[in-house]
Structure 1
């Protein structure tokens, strides 16, 4: 009987240790985001050559009733979710930004992607983002509380759902 109790205690201790180790894995993936690295389902071999600028994407969305599917876009990453690497922002030509989520929450990117130029492949649309959602993402980005509190109105912006992302320079 004592042997079974000892065996049970050992099994529980091992399980607790495994769960503790697993909890350390939460957060963005490790990596330096070097040229050629891909995340997600990858991108088509010709995506880089057919990628449009953010400015052209914006014009296309205005013309095509606010949505563009299977499109490749090239831009510079300005921010990455520090909690999980589950979203990023891309800088536009007019120094505004657009928001990128990963399709089906299926992959994440390292924070080292910040400052890198990437090609994204996926779906883009113009969307109104609520105040609550804007504040949530500002909190994820660890923005100062004053900046979070200053968010008081919904905003229309480009939202991109990426199937794949490739670091290009």
Structure 2
């Protein structure tokens, strides 16, 4: 996490020093829905809409934004956080660590999916953050997708306030 934040801050500092400087060696390789971008010395796999790794909030800054939201409020934002879990059926959602809680990330128009093996990885997401109340039925569905036991699923009996996010683009840092 510290390396990702350091890389993002470094990019911001370097880009603000001279607005006339162009990146000469930035390469983009496209495949179906996945692209790889090189920003400075950090490479990313890109999913959904193409986004950049600049002007990214930390997970703690994002948590502060969530604390100020009320149901019905939305905020457009880009932030970096650790993946806690991913849908093991299709990769159609993921949960991100945003400090004291986890945010439930879904993908705009069900238009792209995440690899199922990225729990523990750092990602950057861009989209709309909001507060939602998740029904018992939805909680049980997501618990089933996450591979929870029948006993764990049966313990879900009340609606839950959730930190929600609809992502239009995601970057996953590639291992260097």
Q: Which has the higher contact order (CA 8 A, sep 6+)?
A: 1
Compute the RMSD of aligned alpha carbons. 2.2
Partner of 2:86: 80
Contact 2:126–2:168 at 8 Å: present in 1 too? yes
Partner of 1:71: 77
Larger radius of gyration: 1
Q: Deviations over 1:15-60 (max 9, x none)?
A: xxxxxxxxxxxxxx9xxxx9510111121x3xx3322123322322
Partner of 1:40: 48
Partner of 1:110: 115
Out of 137, 156, 162, the residue aligned to residue 167 of structure 2 is 162
Q: Could you state the TM-score of these two structures normalised by the residue count of structure 2? A: 0.69
Out of 148, 155, 160, the residue aligned to residue 150 of structure 1 is 155
Contact 1:81–1:111 at 8 Å: present in 2 too? yes
What is the count of residue pairs matched by the alignment?
A: 134
Q: Could you state the TM-score of these two structures normalised by the residue count of structure 1? A: 0.71
Structure showing the higher helix proportion among its residues: 1
Contact 2:45–2:171 at 8 Å: present in 1 too? yes
Contact 2:63–2:99 at 8 Å: present in 1 too? no
Deviation at 1:64, TM superposition (A): 5.0
Deviation at 1:89, TM superposition (A): 0.5
Structure showing the higher strand proportion among its residues: 2
